Structure 1
Amino acid sequence: MTLLGLLGLALLLLALAMLLPALLRSPRPAPTQAGSLAPEPNLALLREQKAQLDEQLGSGAIGPAQYALASSELEQRVLDEAAPATAPPSRTGGGRLSALLLGLALPLLALALYSWLGQPQAVLAPELQAGVAAEPTQAQVEAMVAQLAKRLDEQPSGQPPDPQAWEMLARAYASLQRFEESNRAYIRAGELAPRNAQLLADHADVLAMVQGQSAAGEPTRLIERALAIDPKNLKALALAGTAALQRQDPGAAVVFWSRAQALAPPDSEFAAGLASSLDVARAQLLAAAPQGSRPAASAPAAPALAISGTVSLAPALAAQLAASDTVFVFARAVQGSRMPLAILKFKASELPRAFTLDDSSAMSQELKLSSVGQVMLVARVSRSGNAMPQAGDLTGELGPVKPGAPGLRLVINSVQP
């Protein structure tokens, strides 16, 4: 028996324990005149209490078992008030009969009320509850989608088309992974609502699935239209980053995903997915950094907005450096995105060496060294050659500095915790 059943049984036993002794006890004659009835105000008060019980049951303030118990008590009080004040000398047999009937009727009444007003499936075991409130089957869902599609196809010509209904149909097809049909429904919805940024982004997503998860061509154009209408549309920004990464432009992917990350709820799964995607894009950026193989003596003069200087290793860390380690020197904005604006990569065996960072070493056309007023210079020695920071890497920072500053000295003097 479930906990709910045990509690209900306990309440019923408590009610019977309160009522049965009174019914089994022999009544005592009252000193009042035989045949006199209770005053009408007492009965009116009991009727009001009954009405209050009905209201409390209807509002959910009390449960069916409580209602049954209280109703029984009220009914007994009505009988007591309405009956003659002096009873026959012996009612033991009638009282026992009433007790027997009440003992049977009260549980049945409580169960009947609970079945009518309550939630009988709540007392079922979890495996049986699943059968009571089962999810629609795949066949049922497909039947409903087919019915919606038929209704839209057979819509009378005089009735104005409903773009939301077509969008709903497109989403339903997509949930069933019927992307070709979803694409056709999105085309119709887009004809009816061409300025709906979310619809355009959803359409681009489905069309990319039709093209084998490729955002090239029409999906990218749909994404661009969506962002032109709503530059803060999260799905369009996320898809734009994916499209950029597919066309081998990790810098643009970082830009789009960083914008989406700034708008997404911080603790959401969407934000966590963006963080993972940004790690991948930034790793590709660093891996694609140009190799600096020219000797320091032959380095050309720094352009007007270039940052130049010398990077070296602190003597205290010399024992931790291997000639095969990889050195990254890059500039990033003081505030905002931590994406490198310009980057240089070379072997640790070349330390110390001169460096020059300018727009020609930018990783993205959207973010350049010349686009900011101040930057932080960072040097990092990676033992594994991995583009992402790892514990044990040797690092050094300098800044803030302004683009165009020459003769800087950047020292690698700390260990990544």
Structure 2
Amino acid sequence: MTMLWLSIGTLLLLALWFLSLPLRRARAIHDWQQRFEADDHAEAQNLAVYERRLSALERARDRGEIDVARFEESRHELDRNLLEDTEARRRMPLRRPVSGRLMIPLVITAVIGASIIGYRWQGADGDLALYAAQQNALNTPGASMKTLVGRLEEEAGTQPDNPKVWSLLFPLYQKIGQPGQAIGALERLIELEGRRVDLLAQLAQIKFFVAGRSLTTEVQALIDEILDKDPREPTVLGILGVEAFDDGRYEQAINYWRRALAGFGDNESAQAMRNGIAVARQRLEETANGAERVTD
């Protein structure tokens, strides 16, 4: 956490340095603009051009090349062009170089406030606290799995709406032999994350084994919901295979487990399915041989 806040502080200082840059450069820009305007002779050049053209018109009138009406019309046009050029080049007076300096601290305060509020709102402050709790428990001398569970339970009390807390807790409850707490943590996770198929499948699996590998009404309802959403969900197919195997329906168990094999991504689960299929086939052969001996 300390490194995070140091990083945030460093980035804020860098941002504030850039925000204050215009104020620090204001004096140099002001002086440059003043020199530029002092050296700008465009208005004098426009006036000189106006006077030359007016003189040319007066000479043409005196020689009789244009009449008085034409002269007045041309002179008015020259006057209008001069006024338009002068208006277009009119500059606003330069402000003092320190003008607007109070906006800089206001902007800086707004940036700092927005950064802190934005991080508190969208940041991963809770996840960082959770990670710190994990590391603290794991690095404690003589720490056990129950020590880690205890620290995570404290975090669950502090941030009960953080799904990552519950996703860490429920498998740990299973490992330390507390299936009831595992079910409660998983159900809380489902409340936060929605009825995702993978979470429902894990809930069905825990409840299936807690019920002594029996398809209770509650477990069957979960399985029906899962298969309605994903008929190839491997965990549920594995459960159905176990139930069929226990009931002596070895061929049906093999069918469930073969379908489940296609969905398992980890080798350990896939190997467990293969071992189950091998045992089910052996039981089928033993059953068939026993039937033949009875027939003979």
TM-score strictly above 0.5 = no
Structure (1/2) with the larger helix percentage: 2
If the length of structure 1 is used for normalisation, what is the TM-score? Answer: 0.32
Structure (1/2) with the larger strand percentage: 1
If the length of structure 2 is used for normalisation, what is the TM-score? Answer: 0.43
Greater CA radius of gyration, 1 or 2?
Answer: 2
